Amino acid sequence: MGRRLSAGGGGRARRAGARRMIRLRDLAPDTLARQFTLLLAAAILGANLLGLLVLSLQQQQLDRQTVDDQWIERIASLVPALDSVDSEIRGLIAREASTPFTYMRVEPAPLLTASDDDRRSLYIARGLVEALGGHQVFVSHASAIPRQNRTEAPPNEAPPNEPPAPAGLAVTVALDGGASGAEWLNLLAAPGPERPGLISVKSRPFLTFLGLSLLCVLGVGALFASRLTKPLRQLSEAAQAAGRGDRSARVPEGGAREMREAARAFNAMQAEISRFDAERMRLLAAVGHDLRTPMTSLRIRAEMVEDDEQRAAMVRSLDEMTVMADGLITYAKDGRDSEPMAALDLDPLLAELCRDRGASYTGGEDLQVSGRRVGLGRAIGNLIDNALRYGGGAAVSLSRSKDCAVISIDDNGPGIPAERLEDMFLPFTRGEDSRSNETGGAGLGLSIARAIIIAHGGRLTLENRAEGGLRARISLQLAR
């Protein structure tokens, strides 16, 4: 039981993690304009933060050098005064010069005997030597001095006669020019005040300016990116319209040179496809019309045949050819549908089609698509007629699936073998081989219906229902 509970908890945790990942993906910018704006803002932010870091480092170095110069100036002014008085006065002067953060003593032994080789120690030592002339000077970090050589005390509470702890800087200067028996000025200084980091009180005005500048950059960047990607949006919309069969869709040739070239190529492609479609449909219509004349002549001759059986067979064959010719004309006419695309309410359209044909309808949802009322009505009407003719009834329903409207047309017939479902959309293909007027037409109804649905950017599929019968399923993109 415990293991099952643990596994269930792990499954819930994984599902929760998956949901969080999905939410994070939803927050990610998915358009070119947003990505461009975010990239521009990130570049500006990175450049400004890098500049702030460089300025902060430079300011810290300048502050450190200023403190060091102050020490050089203070010690350089104190040593000549000590050299000019006797030993007792020197000690008093050194004590008076001490502060809670600075320990100064004149002592017979040096605190340091050598300078450190770091940059700061060498800088202070060199400055003191230049200012004092021949005096011996040693500078070191106070942390390098053995503990037994200095007294520890909290820096903020140390009296003037105690060295600060922790000490940051140690300086030893030889008095009396370093002569034999000379005394030494030993100095211990506490570290300076803590230097501000990258984000400090001083940097807040800069960060405020950075935030305001980022808002301006985001606004200008979003406007620029929207204008830059507008031709892409127009191209995408025109391509979707072309996919729905709108051969009049064109793209304005504006924007950058690359966008103008892409628009020009798309428009040329659309014009060529339109011309090809027109030629193809014109050829089909011409073939259908041209076949009628010889078939009419053959029918007259067939009626003159004396053998009743042979005459009936000939007339039956001519009837089948007439059905095929009429199908070609209808197919060509539907392919040349010039009705403009418009917003179309599916619920009243389906209700009207079902009422006229005596089919049942279940709907009531307010769903709109972009389409041609006559063409779409013809396609759906063909499917309803097929269900009534071959399936013993038609039940039509309208529902919504995500951003699509779904129209289902169910019948009560025997269905179609699964391996033949897709073949039913091929021209001149029927569920049974006869093409007589009693059992059906030439097998172009489903082909025409699918062509119309595809021209509307939708899908038409056939599937056998589990409870028996066939279902024709139409999916159409909802209007925005």
CA distance 312 to 317: 9
Out of 128-132, 319-323, 366-370, 387-391, pick the least confident: 319-323
The answer to whether 396 and 409 have CB atoms below 8 angstroms apart is yes
Q: Mean of the per-residue pLDDT values for the chain? A: 77
Query: Which residues on neighbouring strands pair with residue 185, listed in sequence order?
Result: 106, 173
Q: What is the mean pLDDT of residues 123-129?
A: 87
| Start-to-end CA span in the chain (Å) | 52
pLDDT band at 260 (very low <50, low <70, confident <90, very high): confident
Evaluate if residue 405 carries a pLDDT over 90.
yes
CA distance 82 to 135: 12
* Cα–Cα dist 69/61, whole Å: 12
Task: Of 332, 444, 346, 451, give the one whose Cα is nearest residue 399.
Answer: 346
* pLDDT at residue 354, as a whole number: 93
Q: Is the pLDDT of residue 107 over 50?
A: yes
Confidence of residue 408 (pLDDT cuts 50, 70, 90): very high
Ranges 162-171, 207-216, 225-234, 374-383, most confident: 374-383
Res. 471 pLDDT band, cuts 50 70 90 = very high
Percent of the chain with pLDDT over 90: 10
Identify the sign of the CA torsion 400, 401, 406, 408: negative
4-18, 50-64, 364-378, 388-402: the lowest-pLDDT one: 4-18
Of 271, 467, 460, 472, the C-alpha closest to 384 is 472
224 closest CA partner among 29, 33, 32: 33
Contacts of 207 (CB under 8 A, 6+ apart): 52, 199
- Quote the pLDDT of residue 435: 44
Return the amino acid letter for 76. Answer: A
Q: Residue 151: its pLDDT value, please?
A: 43
Closest CA to 105 of 119, 113, 93, 117: 93
Q: Which residues contact 365 (CB under 8 A, 6 or more apart)?
A: 347, 398, 399, 400
Cα separations in angstroms, 19 against 15, 16, 31, 271, 403: 6, 5, 22, 46, 21
CB-count burial class (<10 Å; 0-12, 13-18, 19+) for 254: exposed
The torsion angles phi and psi of 360, rounded to 5 degrees, stand at: -80, 150
Q: What is the pLDDT of residue 7?
A: 46
When mean pLDDT is compared across 10-14, 118-122, 465-469, the lowest value belongs to: 10-14
- CB-based contacts of 362, cutoff 8 Å, min separation 6: 395, 396, 397, 398
Residue-wise pLDDT tens digits, 430-448: 665 544 445 455 567 788 8
Give the pair of three-digit tokens for residue 44.
């500006």
Weakest-pLDDT range from 9-23, 50-64, 301-315, 462-476? 9-23
Does the structure show a pLDDT above 80 at 364? no
pLDDT at 346: 93
pLDDT tens profile 62-102: 878 888 888 888 888 888 888 888 878 888 888 888 887 78
Instruction: Please state, in angstroms and rounded to a whole number, the distance separating the CA atoms of residues 197 and 433.
Output: 87
pLDDT for residue 161: 47
Amino acid 394: pLDDT: 93
What's the pTM value of the predicted model, to 2 decimals?
0.45
Flag whether pLDDT at 359 surpasses 90: yes
**CA 385 to chain CA mean position, Å:** 47
Query: What mean pLDDT is predicted for residues 161-172?
Result: 64
So what's the pLDDT on residue 397?
A: 94
Q: Which of 128-132, 149-153, 370-374 has the lowest mean pLDDT?
A: 149-153
Task: Please give the pLDDT value at position 302.
Answer: 80
Token output for 321: 């050819």
| Average pLDDT of span 471-477 | 92
Over the stretch 6-46, which tens digit does the pLDDT of each residue have?
Answer: 444 555 656 655 555 545 555 566 677 777 777 877 887 78
Domains of the chain: 257-322 (no CATH), 338-477 (3.30.565.10)
pLDDT given for residue 25 in this prediction: 56
Distance (Å, rounded) from C-alpha 480 to C-alpha 459? 18
Q: Is 162 exposed, middle or buried (0-12, 13-18, 19+ CB in 10 A)?
A: middle
